[in-house]
Chain A
Amino acid sequence: MSRRGIAATALAVTAALGLTACGSSDDEGGANTTAAEPVAGGTLKVAFFPDNPQFTCLDPFQTYWIEHRTVIRNVADSLTDQDPKTGEIKPWLAKSWEVSADGKEYTFHLRDGVTFSDGTKLDAAAVKANFDGAQGVVKETGGTAYGASYILGLDHSEVVDPLTVKVVFSAPNSSFLQASSTTNLAIISPDSYKKTAKERCLGQYVGSGAFTLESYKPNELTVLQKRPGYTWGSALSKNTGEAHLDRVEFSYVAEDSVRTGNLVSGAIDISWPRSPITVEDRELIKKSGGVIESRSLPGVASAYYPNASAGHVLSDLKVRQALYKGIDLATYAKTSFGDDYPVVGGAFDNTTPFYASQASKLAYDPDGAIKLLEEAGWKPGEGGYRYKDGKRLTIVFPTSSLSVSSELIQDQLKKVGIELKLDVHPPAELPALYKNGAYDLASSYFTRADPGALQFLLDPKYANSKALATNAAAPETTAKIQALFAKARETTDDAVRKQAYADLQALLIDEGVVFPQYERVQFAGVSKDVHGFAFTSESFLKLNDVWKQQ
């Protein structure tokens, strides 16, 4: 199928699905779109959540931290770009591409005249060097590099001519086209791959982006400089040429209130938190003339995964279904994050391509929950909880921190007689608990604008935690899940993908495999002087159109 064909189908599919971009400001230009012509120059100051304490790494292929990926998006370009509104894949470094009929070969035709910031040419050989380098990292890390899932099944890549590169898979991987648009497969110079993986983590690489990385002091300050002569921005930005801003400074602030205070007092221009900005802080920012931007992070929603293996209370489908009915997701969203916060509607956040809402099956119905528990033999007893054979209906949820939100769910479940035991452990101990199956619910999420992301949680063959994937469903259900993932992965027809992912999303709720908790929304507080704010399709910050009132 031709690229145009795929693109057209993708468009039709996403339109049919009603892919919603959840943004608080309707106009795409972000804050104060009334202002006329962009002004060039100035330094944009952005305050992030603290840098990743577990893994300091700014290398596109190796890193998973949202803030790192935001920095990378602005210094390194990708072969393709993804439209945040439709999920459609658009040209960027590659002006066109073809996918072979068997879905195993992707041929990219590169744009001419693109250079890395060290002056070397971005050609087919450079792209091949990236895929070779990525495969090298996967091998070196024993398969643990984060980017490994983005090139699943990659066999090799080959230079067809100076501007044409062919990527060959041993098995079809329909998620790869979306992967080619991500920061994880952003193209960096071949020389960058001569550095060690550690050196690249500390920012020793160059890309072809609208900004260059001037310095990276982990958890302190990351500085970007405008790249003069940049002319190859993706058409998804209004400004495809040189950036308006001269310089961007990312600082790292741990305290939410301090980040908000800095924004309100004018010390920074954009506050970029990890958890949603509180209702109070949002008011404060709006009062100062600033704007709140928000967009759901596409990919796997924040959700609980059950341990449905034999001997655990959640092995009974009726109990799992009662769990859905016993949790009031609307109240949860409203209480935890504010009135207008989106209510999660399934395994994926609503900005994920092929998202199909299961909201009707997730409605709060305490009477229905009680009925199901009665049918399953759990009778009311001491302390308002339910019992069967003298055993209390207890669901163990290991967590590293207690929060008001998890206590809210605990409270909701108590009303139907289920005890949710919040079992607090240091983060370091959780992996062992999951591995040993010493849990009933485990929570997880994964940011990637492609539903295929979920197979790295739920398909035991590819899952990052084999225990979590294996325990999440009975073997026959797991087989169905694997079949649907395979169907979506192996087709080149978007209509087939759409059907497979729709069936999958329904199955996951019908069989009680995923218990959505909340939609993960990326917030940003933006000063009134900043214009042209934009989210990428994966809800990272895109700076091409951003300019600052001087």
Chain B
Amino acid sequence: MTRYILGRFAQALGVLWAAYTVTFAVLYLLPSDPIALQLGAAGIETDKLTPAELHTAKARFGLDRPILEQYFSDLWGFLRGDLGESIAKQQSVASLIGDRLAPTLSLSLAAAVVALLAGTALAYLASYVRWRPARLVLTRLPSFGASFPQFFIALVLIQFLSFNLGLLPATGIRGWKSLVMPTITISILVASQLAAVLMRSFDDTLSQPYIVTARAKGLSRAAVQWHHGLRNALLPATTILGVLVGLTVTSSIIAETVFSRNGIGKLAQEAVLAQDVPVVLAIVTLAAAIFVVVNLVVDLLYPLLDPRIVQGQRKEVTI
């Protein structure tokens, strides 16, 4: 088990390093020059400047060093927790992310929990219901929910709940009320994807011989689905949990834009457009870290859900 955990940790670190390096390379391979972009934002092109002035401008943002030197010094900084200075935002990247992390984390977490509950409940219900028309409707719901643009959902919600009924604030990050509509916006998509996988998995599980055995022993359908079906059906859904949590983060870009929430999603979008390299690097690495942690948790959860996974691993190791 220790080896299993250590192996997973090493893998996680590797993924983080790769994410950092690939992002760094992509950002520097782009045809545009961050300094030109920065000056261009002020309506000034680099050709206006004398070489000396251009050097001064570049040195202000640390862009005058050779690329490899920038890569290693930035990476070393990262390892020591120094994320550098934003080019566009006049702040250290760490304080920027610190300011913007809470609204996104609370939104992602709320959306993940709601999506998990709603998605599971929908799939559970769909496989429990026997009446064909109801079952048909329930099994079609996920593809319906997944195909609605989040942008549209958000605007419809705002129109009704804010502008017509005046129940919730349309914009801002003040209080739990401002969290309701963004959470719904994101969780519809995430819940739909989860429910789609779970429904399939319920169908597979409930056609297994041990379910027939349980039924034959006289257990009610409800009891069989709850005690024997759910846990086994959850396994494939757990696998995509990491992907779904990632989805709540990417969806936050849309939700944060429409609901004017100042979070990481919006910061990421702004940083990419402004080619604010230090900020993009930090956010990608952070997103990779969240992804890696969720997957690590999932990996560590597997053995609890299905003991065969670690046993299989152990066998491999002893050979």
Q: Hey, which bits of chain A sit against chain B, CB under 8 A?
A: 47, 52-57, 64, 140-146, 198-199, 201-202, 217-221, 251-255, 257-258, 261-262, 264-265, 267, 426-432, 434-435, 444, 446, 456, 463-468
Contacts and interface: CB of A to CB of B under 8 A. Distances in A.
| Residue picked from B44, B49, B163, B270, most chain A C-beta under 10 Å | B44
Given A54-B274, A55-B88, A251-B172, A468 B45 contact: yes
A302 B262 CA distance: 31
A226 B166 CA distance: 30
Given A54-B274, A56-B88, A428-B275, A146 B36 contact: no
Interface stretch (B5-13, B27-35, B115-123, B286-294): B27-35
Given A54-B38, A201-B90, A146 B260 contact: no
Contacts of A446: 43
Given A252-B260, A261-B159, A267 B169 contact: yes
A466 B262 contact: no
Given A142-B57, A144-B57, A253 B171 contact: yes
A142 B54 contact: yes
A217 B57 contact: no
A434 B258 CA distance: 33
Contact of B53 (A144, A258, A432): A144
Nearest to A261: B163
A253 B260 contact: yes
A250 to B, nearest CB: 12
Contact of B45 (A198, A221, A428, A431): A431
B85 to A, nearest CB: 8
Given A220-B262, A251-B260, A257 B32 contact: no
Nearest to A464: B44
B25 interface: no
Contacts of B39: 144, 431
B160 to A, nearest CB: 11
A53 B91 contact: no
B42 A64 contact: yes
Interface in B127-166: 155, 158-159, 162-163, 166
| Residue picked from A54, A146, A429, most chain B C-beta under 10 Å | A54
Nearest to B164: A265
B21 interface: no
Interface in B37-94: 37-49, 52-57, 60, 88-91
Contact of B90 (A56, A219, A251, A267): A56
A258 B32 contact: no
19 contacts: A142-B55, A143-B49, A144-B49, A198-B90, A199-B90, A201-B90, A218-B89, A254-B257, A254-B258, A258-B259, A261-B159, A429-B32, A431-B37, A432-B36, A435-B36, A435-B46, A466-B45, A467-B45, A468-B45
Contacts of B53: 142-144
Contacts of B56: 140-142
B273 interface: yes
Contacts of A53: 88, 270, 273-274
Given A219-B262, A251-B260, A261-B162, A465 B45 contact: yes
Contacts of A221: 172
Contacts of B180: none
B170 interface: yes
Interface residues of B, number: 51
Interface string B171-199: 11100000000000000000000000000
B52 A264 contact: no
Given A141-B57, A201-B90, A432-B32, A254 B260 contact: yes
A210 B69 CA distance: 49
B163 A465 contact: no
A432 B31 contact: yes
Given A55-B42, A428-B32, 9 more contacts: A53-B88, A54-B274, A144-B57, A146-B43, A254-B258, A255-B257, A428-B31, A431-B39, A432-B32
Given A141-B60, A262-B171, A432-B32, A54 B41 contact: yes
B97 to A, nearest CB: 14
Contacts of B260: 251-255, 258
A64 B170 contact: no
A135 to B, nearest CB: 15
Contacts of B48: 143, 463-466
Q: Which 7 pairs between the two chains have the least Cβ-Cβ distance?
A: A54-B41, A142-B53, A142-B56, A428-B32, A465-B45, A53-B270, A464-B44
A504 to B, nearest CB: 20
Nearest to A468: B45
A316 B167 CA distance: 62
A505 B44 CA distance: 23
A426 B31 CA distance: 10
A431 B40 contact: yes
Contacts of A465: 43-45, 47-48
A303 B172 CA distance: 36
A145 B258 CA distance: 32
A282 B43 CA distance: 31
A144 B39 CA distance: 7
A54 B274 CA distance: 5
B172 to A, nearest CB: 7
A434 B30 contact: no
A55 B47 contact: no
Contacts of A467: 45, 47
A265 B166 contact: yes
Contacts of B162: 261-262, 265, 267
B91 A202 contact: yes
Contacts of B40: 430-431
A52 B170 contact: no
| Residue picked from B41, B158, B266, B275, most chain A C-beta under 10 Å | B41
Nearest to A463: B48
Contacts of B33: 431-432
B36 A431 contact: yes
Nearest to B171: A253
A52 B169 contact: no
Nearest to A265: B163
| Residue picked from B37, B55, B258, most chain A C-beta under 10 Å | B37
A130 B311 CA distance: 74
Given A258-B170, A465-B45, A202 B90 contact: yes
Interface in B256-282: 257-260, 262, 266, 270, 273-275
| Residue picked from B40, B52, B158, B266, most chain A C-beta under 10 Å | B40
Contacts of A432: 31-33, 36
A262 B170 contact: yes
B288 to A, nearest CB: 23
Nearest to B60: A141
Contacts of A426: 32
Contacts of A143: 48-49, 53
Contacts of B52: 142
A55 B41 contact: yes
Contact of B266 (A55, A144, A219, A468): A219
A142 B49 contact: yes
Contacts of B262: 217, 219-220
Contacts of B159: 261
A251 B172 CA distance: 8
